Amino acid sequence: MEELDLLEKIKEPILKWYQQNKRELPWRREKNPYFIWISEIMLQQTRIEAVMGYYERFLKSLPTVQDLAQVDEEKLLKLWEGLGYYNRARNLKKAAQAIQETYYGNIPEQYEELLKLPGIGEYTAGAIASIAFDEPVPAVDGNVLRVVSRVVASKKDVLEAKTKKEFTQKLQKIMPKQAGDFNEGLMELRRTNLFAEWRTNLRAMPFARNLFDQKGKFGGRNSSAKGKNKKKKRTKNGIFVGMSRENSHSKKGKDGVACEFI
């Protein structure tokens, strides 16, 4: 079975799984692009649990794009204190000012327009465009790459830019209408303990039955290769090496050094 066919098979199961298992997070209460944007930037290099307090405090002080564009740097950095990587905060203000000047105070809805803003790279643009505006674009970071690689039993190195580009193109072809939920489902799945189980048991996937054929082969491969996978889990293959969300492309793009630690 081709990789694209395997990915096509997980669309509905991922959406269903996410609806049943998603966590209640403050930025998920409504599809507010400003809230989603702030949360995505904060989640770079920081765990979800650690972000909560900073997120609430930041939005209480700067509830709108206009407030962010006009805040003085001293106050901004004080609000950001504890999150580190202060250039993220400075870029937030620069982007807010660009939104005020170029987009009349409205966060752009299109992926390509979002990419023009300071501090917003491919992953963040995909997350905002899909979650807030339902644009059918993928949001691919290191965590999503690991889930997708595992789903298709790929041996490609997710640390390589060409692997990210290839899987991004394939995900683009199978994006459902509920693109935001699909992207968040992939991210949420990587944060669960289920992913660790997949390292030694492909059938532990919540949607495994969609991927095995009648002969018990996974995507045209023999699913009994559990032992082989186990031996490889300490190799350089990105599928089996636990890393932070954007380590796979941490030196590229505008999304920052890395994203949320697992």
> What tens digit of pLDDT does each residue of 183-198 get?
999 988 877 655 555 5
Q: Where are the alpha helices (DSSP H) in 192-225?
A: 194-198
Mean pLDDT value of segment 122-141: 97
Confidence of residue 208 (pLDDT cuts 50, 70, 90): low
Q: How many helices (H) and strands (E) does the chain have?
A: 13, 2
Q: Which residue has the higher pLDDT, 153 or 12?
A: 12
d(CA 175, CA 72): 40
The proportion of the chain whose per-residue pLDDT surpasses 70, expressed as a percent, equals 73
SS3 212: strand
* Domains of the chain as residue ranges with CATH: 3-23+139-249 (1.10.1670.10), 26-133 (1.10.340.30)
Catalytic residues: 40
pTM of the full predicted structure? 0.79
- Classify the C-alpha dihedral 153-149-19-135 as positive or negative: negative
pLDDT of residue 205: 58
138: Cβ contacts below 8 Å, ≥ 6 apart: 126, 130, 144, 168, 171, 172, 175, 179, 183
Residue 253 has pLDDT above 50, yes or no: no
Residue 244 has pLDDT above 90, yes or no: no
φ and ψ at residue 221, rounded to 5 degrees: -110, 155
- Amino acid found at 140: V
d(CA 122, CA 139): 7
Confidence of residue 13 (pLDDT cuts 50, 70, 90): confident
Residue 124 has pLDDT above 70, yes or no: yes
Residue 258 has pLDDT above 70, yes or no: no
Confidence of residue 56 (pLDDT cuts 50, 70, 90): very high
Return mean pLDDT, the chain: 80
Mean pLDDT value of segment 106-133: 98
Confidence of residue 21 (pLDDT cuts 50, 70, 90): confident
> Of 64-68, 141-145, 217-221, 236-240, where does mean pLDDT reach its minimum?
236-240
Residue 34 has pLDDT above 80, yes or no: yes
pLDDT of residue 20: 87
Q: Using N-to-C axis directions, what is the helix angle for 142-151 and 3-21, rounded to 10°?
A: 120
pLDDT of residue 222: 40
Confidence of residue 226 (pLDDT cuts 50, 70, 90): very low
Residue 76 has pLDDT above 90, yes or no: yes
d(CA 204, CA 197): 6
SS3 233: coil
Residue 143 has pLDDT above 80, yes or no: yes
